[in-house]
Structure 1
């Protein structure tokens, strides 16, 4: 893996550094608003940030397709996105059920494409439901792409 991630080795960043505690406060507001927009019925439970980690993706690095089990909302805050940096690739969840479907036209509307590519800028915050398969395409930038990713659990 050409890069570094603190996932599973340093997931208590909001307790370790005040800058991450401030980030958590802001993300908590966004997660509540996003859950409301998704019309989630949280009942007596609430969303809580249960992991927050740093990613440093070197040139040539990627992160293969995956989901975030045991989470409700996942996302990323983009810190450094140099020219040519990799995009976030989101997969249409219907893809596995389109066994005999013809491919989509190149000019298809974004909500009909099999994959959507998000090219973030520094400061961008993206959130998605944790079941959504996604990946980080190859970083073609000459320098590192730096981000902070997170998961919200329900309980």
Structure 2
């Protein structure tokens, strides 16, 4: 039989971007101090956190210049990941909302999404040892938006190719200081229980639109 040429495309992909921010050691030392001081003086907000401490969503106001650096980097990444319906680059005026999370032994974040935003993301201040010891857990897990997929019928099978391994399940990101990543706000995600004895500290944020570009061209630069 003659060789059959097959054209395979990965349709409906979900973009997730990751970047290592420079000057992480100095930035994280300042942020760790600020966040833990805030935690000592303020009770936790109850959101997705199962245990742990969740700050108010005004981190951009009390977090200082270092939080501003993180959000500026997030907006740059978002601009590179966003286009109009014709595929042309757009540069929206992003609105931002940010908060801090501190997880100790046994703490986690339940599965959730972030309504009212376009991009969401996380920056790691302290991994609590997760980066070098997988036994400590604390991974950030993103759930396949297609649902359980073929795993319901044939759990031993997957789609061919590198991106097919997690079909019907999830992908994880292991925390490490200085790592910033963005994902669509509608993507279900969670933080697995942290089993270390230290503190896992992260900053979460949302990027939204003051107005949709199609409604008012003034949001484009």
TM-score normalised by L of structure 1: 0.81
Query: Which structure features the higher share of strand residues?
Result: 1
Does structure 1 residue 89 correspond to structure 2 residue 141? yes
Q: CA deviation at 1:134?
A: 0.4
Partner secondary structure for residue 112 of structure 1: coil
How far apart, CA to CA, are the structure 2 residues paired with 1:3 and 1:106? 37
Partner secondary structure for residue 82 of structure 2: helix
Could you tell me which residue of structure 2 aligns to residue 126 of structure 1? 181
Could you tell me which residue of structure 1 aligns to residue 153 of structure 2? 102
Does structure 1 residue 3 correspond to structure 2 residue 49? no
Larger radius of gyration: 2
TM-score normalised by L of structure 2: 0.59
Dislocated runs of 4+, deviation >2 Å: 39-43, 98-101, 103-113
Relative to structure 1, is the Cα distance of residues 57 and 15 closer, same or farther in structure 2, using a 3 angstrom cutoff? closer
Partner secondary structure for residue 75 of structure 2: helix
Could you tell me which residue of structure 1 aligns to residue 195 of structure 2? 140
**2:170 equivalent among 96, 110, 115:** 115
CA RMSD of aligned residues (A): 2.9
Could you tell me which residue of structure 1 aligns to residue 204 of structure 2? 149
| Structure 2 segments unaligned to the other structure (5+ residues) | 1-49, 131-135, 212-221
How far apart, CA to CA, are the structure 1 residues paired with 2:118 and 2:87? 10
Q: CA deviation at 1:85?
A: 4.3
Could you tell me which residue of structure 1 aligns to residue 24 of structure 2? none
Preserved CA contact (<8 Å) 1:79 1:147: yes
Partner secondary structure for residue 122 of structure 2: strand
Give the number of aligned pairs: 150
Instruction: Indicate the larger mover: 109-118 or 70-79.
Output: 109-118
Preserved CA contact (<8 Å) 1:24 1:49: no
| Structure 1 segments unaligned to the other structure (5+ residues) | none
Could you tell me which residue of structure 1 aligns to residue 111 of structure 2? 65
Could you tell me which residue of structure 2 aligns to residue 76 of structure 1? 122
Structure with bigger RCO (C-alpha 8 Å, 6+ apart): 1
Does structure 1 residue 31 correspond to structure 2 residue 78? yes
